[in-house]
């Protein structure tokens, strides 16, 4: 009998500037067998996230790049189909980092069991997963929002930004979200109860943002950079806190942006306004994972936090969905449904 096969997507070439589907390659390989202490996982859900653009580059960063010919990395939810680990049995659902493929081998100690009765499995990749924990830890540890303060969040209709805004509302803040397009702004206002929503595509975006922040900005959760940062910068209050989570407007840059060197202005403002500007990676706060799942899970069950998913069917469609996500075409947490649960 022929050995069963599965599909996987590997990095075919490193992009210069914007990635395209041609930078990926769909391959077929034999389904592997788990070794001692390992499990074989059938992938059900694949998370697509902006950080993956950095993994396609060989430039030095906080994590190792994906090598040419290697499976693209990514968070996944899957079903154990074979196990050589005492804590897992076929039929268990697990969170793992199995990447863009239909089957994967993982060490049993590197995965986490999921209970589908507590929340939909896909939420382990979104509001109850890495994006939700990024929002929770970055906002509360670095942003430190206080009742009555103004919190502004970029990419506010995405999985991180939407959670940031809702947590800030729970903490009693005036929340302003910046998103792309009327539909996303309406979602922030009508579904998530933000106090204001600003379309970053509007020609008078800086003026609209200033009107929405009459008392200035105390916390700015940075996901974007670019013109959004330029509009936020003059509105920052003394002692404002800026958690820097992402800079999606610059991920495809191949050179420094044109124009004068604004570093002296930035440094002078950091000094005179006593700003806290701190970059972070979610794993910096790994010790808070249980606290995050407990607290955000309770808010989710109480209806205080809502979430939205943008689902694409089929592993073969992951490259196109990823490219579109980097251009802001997704609406909510970008997921690929690789297999049926």
Give me the tens of pLDDT residue by residue for the chain, a chain 341 residues long.
Answer: 567 999 999 999 999 889 999 999 999 999 999 999 999 999 999 999 999 998 999 888 888 899 999 999 999 999 999 999 999 999 999 999 999 999 999 999 999 999 999 999 999 999 999 999 999 999 999 999 999 999 999 999 999 999 999 999 999 999 999 999 999 999 999 999 999 999 999 999 999 999 999 999 999 999 988 999 999 999 999 999 999 998 877 777 767 778 888 899 999 999 999 999 999 999 999 999 999 999 999 999 999 999 999 999 999 999 999 999 998 899 999 999 999 87
Secondary structure of 91-110 as H, E, C letters: CCEEEECCCCECEEEEEHHH
The SS3 of residue 18 is coil
DSSP H helices in the chain = 52-55, 130-137, 159-170, 182-190, 205-212, 226-232, 263-272, 289-301, 318-326
319: closest CA among 3, 20, 86, 79?
Answer: 20
- pLDDT at residue 2, rounded to an integer: 63
pLDDT of res. 191? 97
Query: Among 157, 164, 326, which Cα is nearest to 245's?
Result: 164
Q: Does pTM top 0.85 for this prediction? A: yes
Q: What is the pLDDT of residue 168?
A: 98
Unique residue bearing structure tokens 């009742």? 147
Please report the pLDDT score of residue 117 as a whole number: 92
Is 222 in contact with 275 (CB distance < 8 Å)?
no
**Residue 262: count of CB within 10 angstroms of its CB:** 12
Domains defined for the chain, CATH in brackets: 5-126+308-337 (3.90.180.10), 130-285 (3.40.50.720)
Please give the Cα distance from 121 to 319 (Å, whole number). 22
Classify the C-alpha dihedral 187-293-289-140 as positive or negative.
Answer: positive
Dihedral sign for Cα 10, 12, 14, 17, please.
negative
| DSSP annotation of 170 | H
């Amino acid at each position: 009998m022929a050995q069963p096969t599965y599909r996987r997507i590997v990095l075919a070439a490193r992009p210069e500037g914007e990635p395209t589907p041609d930078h990926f390659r769909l391959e077929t390989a034999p389904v592997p067998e788990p070794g001692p202490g390992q499990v074989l996982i059938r992938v059900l859900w694949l998370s697509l996230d902006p950080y993956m653009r950095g993994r396609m580059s060989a430039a030095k960063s906080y994590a190792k790049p994906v090598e040419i010919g290697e499976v693209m990395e990514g968070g996944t939810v899957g079903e154990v189909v074979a196990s050589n680990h005492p804590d897992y049995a076929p039929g268990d659902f697990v969170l793992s980092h199995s990447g863009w493929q239909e089957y994967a081998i993982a060490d049993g100690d590197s995965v986490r069991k999921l209970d589908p009765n507590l929340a939909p499995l896909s939420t382990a990749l979104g509001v109850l997963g890495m994006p939700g924990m990024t929002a929770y830890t970055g906002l509360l540890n670095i942003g430190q929002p206080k009742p009555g303060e103004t919190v502004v969040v970029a990419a506010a209709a995405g999985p991180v930004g939407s959670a940031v805004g809702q947590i800030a509302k729970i903490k009693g803040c005036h929340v302003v979200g910046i998103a792309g397009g009327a539909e996303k702004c309406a979602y922030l206002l009508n579904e998530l109860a933000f106090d204001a929503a600003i379309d970053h595509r509007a020609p008078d975006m800086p003026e609209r943002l200033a009107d929405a922040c009459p008392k200035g900005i105390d916390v700015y959760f940075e996901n974007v950079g670019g013109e959004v940062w330029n509009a936020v910068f003059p509105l920052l209050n003394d002692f404002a806190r800026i958690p820097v989570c992402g800079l999606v407007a610059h991920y495809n840059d191949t050179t420094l942006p044109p124009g004068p060197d604004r570093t002296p202005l930035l440094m002078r403002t950091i000094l005179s306004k006593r700003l806290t500007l701190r970059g972070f990676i979610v794993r910096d706060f790994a010790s808070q994972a249980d606290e995050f799942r407990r607290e955000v899970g309770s808010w989710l069950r109480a209806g205080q936090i809502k979430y939205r998913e943008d689902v694409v069917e089929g592993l073969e469609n992951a490259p196109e969905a990823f490219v579109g996500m980097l251009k802001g075409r997704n609406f909510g947490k970008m997921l690929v449904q690789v297999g049926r649960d």
